[in-house]
Chains A and B, each alone.
Chain A
């Protein structure tokens, strides 16, 4: 074996890779596979290179484990031991599950960075797919002048992603689907699970207590969906339900939230009324009986729904603002309670004072004394309200052009002298009128539909991608000029061939396609033009170089 000094954590025999039998080794820092009978590894991946592992679904005939690398490549292992294939695979999976996160942090930072950029920027990702994956240019070229920016910027800045709040309806997104045989399927995604955990810390606690010691993940969520806890209108009945405790904790949380009271005195309903009627006085207008004994089950289920909706909304709100805010909150809280404790006739807590003053303020009755703001001067409020309208004509004329032509026409008109001896014949005059009337030959341009109405959206999308890719390539190409170093010389040659390859492999098929769909073939005219310009530039440069050489 190649390196015996390495610690071997797991050995699995009878693992096939590319239809060859062999043995899989999981070592401290890498995973490796060697064909049977050979004493070297044909496959070896450092854990740090592995992005993730995937396993074949239960019930598939082949029991497989796939490793996806950061580079995008993947390796599939087929566990072929008849008796223990599943066990073997799960053992390998479990071990990898523990190992991979450790190495994830160590993984190539640059790779991470590239990965992140691709994930966050869909346009870039598309470009990557168009150019690198289809092998128009190599990955290094693609990243060449992008990573420069990354390395300079403070990584702390990049990492500081904006905290994303939770959708209020995340539970609604878990729509159950019937599986056809009296069962329900719930689809859970990592996002939803995270939302559940962030909104209901009690569930998270239960999860970490029970999974995987007592329950598998699947069982846990199954029970979650069966519980009264998930169905808000069900009343807590059994105690064997692991979530009954969660409901209690939520109730407790709600109570403590309520008992904390409110900071804004103007919404405090408790101190709203100057309660002066003593007990026994006043009209008793059907006082709702609060004793739980005579409430029907339906009543209490209804009030449970209401309670849980309030709790849910409060938790979602809190989850969104939990980070960073808590400290400020606490500070203001203590100060306000401090104020309340000294509550007396002449002392009003400052919060209250401010709120009251806000409430009685009539901003429009006062002379404006804030900084003068510039009001938006809208000539057409409609345009503002309805958003921009796409430019109709394909040829865009600058205002200078328009002014010039108007001037020109004015000039022409001023100097116009009818030459009555040389007028058109009546037939040609009427045909000219016909041509200039709506629907006539010369009026077609005006009625021409916008491109977004003529071309199906998927073709539009494809066209956009082509533009993006071409733009990227051309950017690289033009960046080589002036060509004054041998390196650039080499690069410009390469870029030219890249462009040609692009034209062959990407543009041509697209053109064929739109031809097949009988669309106006002029869609790619501009692309072609851009490419031709680049080529001619290249030729000029090349002939000059040849001349200089000769």
Chain B
């Protein structure tokens, strides 16, 4: 159908539309009009992607000078492929409706092995790729730096975007890294020696260039051609590479010194935590390395590698890592912390020193993106609470909206199980973690559910260790055997290939009617990337609240930073983080309006307002006061009732006019009024 979104003609490749899709496009258009950033939360399975694509493509066609390019970032390879498939559908619809072959060029970079040559990106109207191509400075520099300013950037499935940002800026250095780096440096020295004998002019030419400074880059940045690289701060562009590292030999010597220093730092007996200024002071005191040459380290190494015409850069990954670290540590006095651990906490007898240089501020990596591109849209099915993202990513959105799912029948059923039948409070909190009564009651819940839920059940645990322990004690108590009478059991393991097989078998068992249970882990790969549509997931059980492991020093440092810099209290952040993962897990089962599923939160803490309030609105609004502290028995009764109702035939006619609209219905005055209520502004 052809839609009119506030005066913009949008081709939408379906005969019907969900009201929330219309509302979503409306908000999106306003964001583009304002040339600002947006945060939009819309439930999964309501056609978010196609709405996005339809609107932005229409916008591009209508205002080719305002928006030149769409950069669509998603997280997993299948997600990217799905986007491409939807785009293809949209394009087919365009050529069918308009009768002209479209001249849109879309490009997908789905995996590194078919990494594309970057000039093509410059010409494409739409680029679909993974987050890293934009957020990871090492790759962004190669792939994305020349993307036009007038692009619209979309981060889909963005609920974990802060972690991606942090990951891309953090570095870990082990003894092995240093050993490999040592080899790299030796190779560099030999190569330099050889070149000196054969082609000394080359090195001289490089020296001259370095004296002139990094002028090219500076000019490029000023004239706004490049996406700035957070690893390459503005200041160094104005300066020439300092004399101490200008010649190749000097630089190699400099690297050696730095390397020796790092080696000495790894020789620790106890945990050391320090800030970047402390680290810089120490390095100056010990080996007289100044801050300035350190900052140029990454750039200088690149130049050297280019000069030496080294083909396989992968061989030099260790020295590249070290030089990146050098530049980062000397550039940012804030937002990073250095933690040196002599051994793993679990194995204090085995020396395995690691230097963690961890980024605590996700806004550092994403800052250039917000600064450069006129509209950046962050969207996902679960972005609650919406206001936290602008805070931790440090940007000011023009639109923030959460959309509900209009439903002709309530196809999701969130239940909070707080008690066992014996009134024992259910919780995964640390104190009762080993409590047999809790574990038994959890087992009972799964057993009872396995008897009433058809086909597939997915259960998530808070961590892998917790799941292992519970599975072992369920085995001892004979609970698993009883569950096997109803369904087959498959369990996620730490091996991805093994888990893939278990997943496929799980689906097979759901498919052939035998029914199965998948035991899985929140924050694991399954919880983030696998959908359980229809009969593959009729119920999701979340055992416990998936708090992150709080004893890690890196996390503690990050929490402290959040408190000091953003005034976000530790508990608020931890709860937010736990709830977004819980929402991700339970959201796996509902992938559309024709789908249905139970969402069982098995922990009494979910009933508290501070937890419940952080769930997405589209889940929250279906939690009734009566389902806040259920026993296992009550849960089973409610589930039975729900499943029986949902199993009734559900036809298009049932939805029409309520949660599914024809063009005429959409245009009615009354409906437009209703639609304005779907978007919940914050």
By a beta-carbon cutoff of 8 Å, the part of chain A in contact with chain B is 165, 167-169, 171-172, 232-233, 254, 257-286, 288-290, 294, 298-299, 301-303, 305-307, 309-310, 313-314, 316-317, 320-321, 344-345, 348, 352, 356-357, 359-360, 362-368, 375-376, 378, 381, 385
| Contact partner, A283, options B358, B488, B502, B504, Cβ 8 Å | B358
| A366 neighbours in B (Cβ, 8 Å) | 14-16
Q: How far apart are the CA atoms of A37 and B368 in the complex, in Å?
A: 112
Q: Knowing that A272-B76, A360-B50 are A-B contacts, what are 19 other residue pairs whose CB atoms are under 8 Å apart, sorted by A's residue number?
A: A168-B484, A258-B498, A261-B501, A268-B500, A269-B496, A272-B525, A274-B76, A283-B163, A285-B548, A302-B472, A303-B493, A309-B480, A345-B114, A356-B82, A356-B85, A362-B14, A362-B592, A364-B593, A385-B644
Assess the A274–B317 pair: CB atoms within 8 A.
no
Known: A280-B318, A313-B505. A362 touches B76 (CB 8 A): no
CB distance from B212 to the nearest CB of A (A): 31
| Contact partner, A270, options B130, B171, B496, Cβ 8 Å | B496
Assess the B476–A233 pair: CB atoms within 8 A.
yes
For residue B481, CB closer than 8 A to chain A, the reply is yes
Q: Which of B576-584, B610-618, B646-654 contacts A (4 or more CB under 8 A)?
A: B646-654
| A313 neighbours in B (Cβ, 8 Å) | 488-490, 502, 505, 509, 516
Q: How far apart are the CA atoms of A11 and B61 in the complex, in Å?
A: 101
| Contact partner, A269, options B85, B129, B526, Cβ 8 Å | B526
Known: A309-B489, A362-B14. A288 touches B464 (CB 8 A): yes
| B555 neighbours in A (Cβ, 8 Å) | 285
Q: How far apart are the CA atoms of A356 and B552 in the complex, in Å?
A: 39
| Contact partner, B78, options A265, A285, A305, A306, Cβ 8 Å | A265
Known: A273-B77, A274-B112, A362-B14. A299 touches B132 (CB 8 A): no
Q: How far apart are the CA atoms of A258 and B129 in the complex, in Å?
A: 29
Closest residue of chain B to A278 (Cβ to Cβ) is B317
| Contact partner, A305, options B17, B471, B594, B655, Cβ 8 Å | B471
| A274 neighbours in B (Cβ, 8 Å) | 76-77, 80, 110-112, 129-130, 132
Assess the B484–A365 pair: CB atoms within 8 A.
no
CB distance from B118 to the nearest CB of A (A): 15
Assess the B497–A258 pair: CB atoms within 8 A.
yes
Assess the A258–B487 pair: CB atoms within 8 A.
no
The 5 closest A-B pairs by CB, nearest first: A172-B481, A169-B484, A276-B132, A365-B14, A313-B488
Known: A169-B484, A172-B481. A233 touches B130 (CB 8 A): no
| A375 neighbours in B (Cβ, 8 Å) | 649, 651
By a beta-carbon cutoff of 8 Å, the part of chain B in contact with chain A is 14-18, 47, 49-50, 75-78, 80-82, 85-86, 89, 110-112, 114, 129-130, 132-133, 136, 138-139, 163, 166-168, 170-174, 177, 317-318, 321, 344, 346-347, 350, 354, 356, 358-359, 464, 468-469, 471-472, 475-476, 478, 480-482, 484-491, 493-505, 507-509, 512, 514, 516, 525-526, 529-531, 533, 548-549, 552, 554-555, 592-594, 644-645, 648-649, 651-652, 655, 660
Assess the B480–A267 pair: CB atoms within 8 A.
no
Assess the A262–B500 pair: CB atoms within 8 A.
yes
Assess the A232–B475 pair: CB atoms within 8 A.
yes
CB distance from B82 to the nearest CB of A (A): 5
Known: A269-B503, A359-B531, A365-B15. A281 touches B509 (CB 8 A): no
Assess the B472–A276 pair: CB atoms within 8 A.
no
Q: How far apart are the CA atoms of A348 and B594 in the complex, in Å?
A: 29
Assess the A282–B167 pair: CB atoms within 8 A.
yes
| A303 neighbours in B (Cβ, 8 Å) | 468, 493
Q: How far apart are the CA atoms of A270 and B111 in the complex, in Å?
A: 12
Q: How far apart are the CA atoms of A275 and B529 in the complex, in Å?
A: 14
| A279 neighbours in B (Cβ, 8 Å) | 317
Q: How far apart are the CA atoms of A296 and B484 in the complex, in Å?
A: 28
| B514 neighbours in A (Cβ, 8 Å) | 165, 168, 317, 320
Most buried by B among A265, A272, A290: A272
Assess the A285–B85 pair: CB atoms within 8 A.
no
Most buried by A among B133, B486, B493, B502: B502
Assess the A381–B494 pair: CB atoms within 8 A.
no
Known: A290-B494, A309-B480, A366-B16. A263 touches B504 (CB 8 A): yes
Assess the B166–A283 pair: CB atoms within 8 A.
yes
Closest residue of chain B to A348 (Cβ to Cβ) is B81
| A305 neighbours in B (Cβ, 8 Å) | 471-472, 475
20 contacts between A and B (CB under 8 A): A165-B514, A168-B487, A169-B481, A263-B504, A270-B496, A272-B525, A273-B75, A276-B139, A283-B163, A284-B554, A290-B494, A302-B469, A305-B472, A306-B493, A309-B489, A313-B490, A313-B509, A360-B86, A364-B652, A365-B660
Q: How far apart are the CA atoms of A345 and B655 in the complex, in Å?
A: 40
Q: How far apart are the CA atoms of A314 and B491 in the complex, in Å?
A: 11
Assess the A310–B502 pair: CB atoms within 8 A.
yes
Assess the B171–A368 pair: CB atoms within 8 A.
no
Q: How far apart are the CA atoms of A263 and B500 in the complex, in Å?
A: 10
| B78 neighbours in A (Cβ, 8 Å) | 265-266, 272, 356, 359
CB distance from A166 to the nearest CB of B (A): 10
Closest residue of chain A to B78 (Cβ to Cβ) is A266
| Contact partner, A168, options B488, B508, B652, Cβ 8 Å | B488
Assess the B472–A233 pair: CB atoms within 8 A.
yes
Assess the B163–A365 pair: CB atoms within 8 A.
no
Q: How far apart are the CA atoms of A429 and B55 in the complex, in Å?
A: 82
| A289 neighbours in B (Cβ, 8 Å) | 344, 346-347
Closest residue of chain B to A381 (Cβ to Cβ) is B648
Assess the A262–B86 pair: CB atoms within 8 A.
no
Q: How far apart are the CA atoms of A357 and B485 in the complex, in Å?
A: 35
Closest residue of chain B to A345 (Cβ to Cβ) is B114
Q: How far apart are the CA atoms of A149 and B158 in the complex, in Å?
A: 68
CB distance from A485 to the nearest CB of B (A): 53
| B493 neighbours in A (Cβ, 8 Å) | 303, 306-307, 310
Assess the B112–A276 pair: CB atoms within 8 A.
yes
CB distance from A257 to the nearest CB of B (A): 6
Closest residue of chain B to A274 (Cβ to Cβ) is B130
Assess the A284–B356 pair: CB atoms within 8 A.
yes
Q: How far apart are the CA atoms of A270 and B113 in the complex, in Å?
A: 14
Closest residue of chain B to A165 (Cβ to Cβ) is B514
Q: How far apart are the CA atoms of A283 and B461 in the complex, in Å?
A: 22
Assess the B529–A306 pair: CB atoms within 8 A.
no
| B593 neighbours in A (Cβ, 8 Å) | 364
| Contact partner, A288, options B166, B494, B503, B526, Cβ 8 Å | B494
Assess the B485–A169 pair: CB atoms within 8 A.
yes
| Contact partner, A276, options B85, B136, B526, Cβ 8 Å | B136
Known: A274-B110, A277-B167, A356-B81. A310 touches B490 (CB 8 A): yes
| B14 neighbours in A (Cβ, 8 Å) | 362, 365-366
| B76 neighbours in A (Cβ, 8 Å) | 272-274
Q: How far apart are the CA atoms of A109 and B484 in the complex, in Å?
A: 40
| A345 neighbours in B (Cβ, 8 Å) | 114
Q: How far apart are the CA atoms of A171 and B132 in the complex, in Å?
A: 48
Q: How far apart are the CA atoms of A215 and B50 in the complex, in Å?
A: 67
Q: How far apart are the CA atoms of A288 and B555 in the complex, in Å?
A: 16
Q: How far apart are the CA atoms of A268 and B504 in the complex, in Å?
A: 8
| Contact partner, A294, options B86, B347, B476, B489, Cβ 8 Å | B347
Closest residue of chain A to B169 (Cβ to Cβ) is A281
